[in-house]
Amino acid sequence: MAHNCLQCIKYLMFVFNLLFWLGGCGILGVGIWLAVTQGNFATLSSSFPSLSAANLLIVTGTFVMIIGFVGCIGAIKENKCLLLSFFIMLLIIFLLELTVVILFFVYTDKIDKYAQRDLKKGLHLYGTDGNIGLTNAWSIIQTDFRCCGVSNYTDWFEVYNTTRVPDSCCLEFSENCGLHSPGTWWKAPCYETVKIWLQENLLAVGIFGLCTVLVQILGLTFAMTMYCQVVKADTYCA
């Protein structure tokens, strides 16, 4: 009976980690595709230029693949060391995520101020050599969210040292439309506009976060249950 239970958990954990590994492959693939085709797409921070969508996806995909691989091999080989390693790695990631979420809610105001200050600093890199990712990201955000600047369209005045904004700020796009009067530009601040959009889609973000937590808890449960079963089986055989 114990042997049948171990076999059942073994194959369940193998399938779970195989899907986990395939998910990591998908995330890594998208990250590499973004890096190759779009450069440093969605790089908005001047303090952390490597914090781009492509790099985040590549790092996340790599970690997920490694953890999934360790879990797969540990399950199929019934290896206590690999099972325990899988459990510890997943637990560390879970605790880090929990810590980040708690710190985010505790220091929301400070994070808000720092983010706005850093984004305004990043505006000065717009359109400069080697910053195509930041330039593309700002152009897409201002066009899609119909906003201009971080806290106000006047943020761009400091960048250009004149009354001018990027063409992506224009109500109707045309060449050099950013040189026209402010009446032809979007007035909404991008930082607040994106925050409102996130708040409106909080349910989707919450569901994604909950699913992530459930998957991790399921992985931890599978790993520890199988580890205990393997230990019991070894003790019984001895």
pTM of this prediction? 0.76
Sequence spans of domains, the chain = 1-147+188-237
What is the rounded average pLDDT of the residues 78-84?
89
- Residue 65 CA to residue 51 CA, distance in Å, equals 20
What is the rounded average pLDDT of the residues 118-125?
88
- Residue 99 CA to residue 84 CA, distance in Å, equals 22
- Residue 170 CA to residue 125 CA, distance in Å, equals 20
What is the rounded average pLDDT of the residues 23-44?
74
Q: Let me know how long the chain is.
A: 238
For 134-180, the pLDDT digits (tens) are: 888 899 899 999 999 999 999 999 999 888 999 999 998 888 888 88
Mention every residue, 6+ apart, whose C-beta is less than 8 A from residue 126: 134, 135, 138, 159, 166
Residue 187: is its pLDDT beyond 80? yes
For 42-77, the pLDDT digits (tens) are: 566 666 666 677 788 888 889 989 998 998 898 888
Q: Is 216 exposed, middle or buried (0-12, 13-18, 19+ CB in 10 A)?
A: middle
pLDDT of residue 45: 64
- Residue 53 CA to residue 61 CA, distance in Å, equals 12
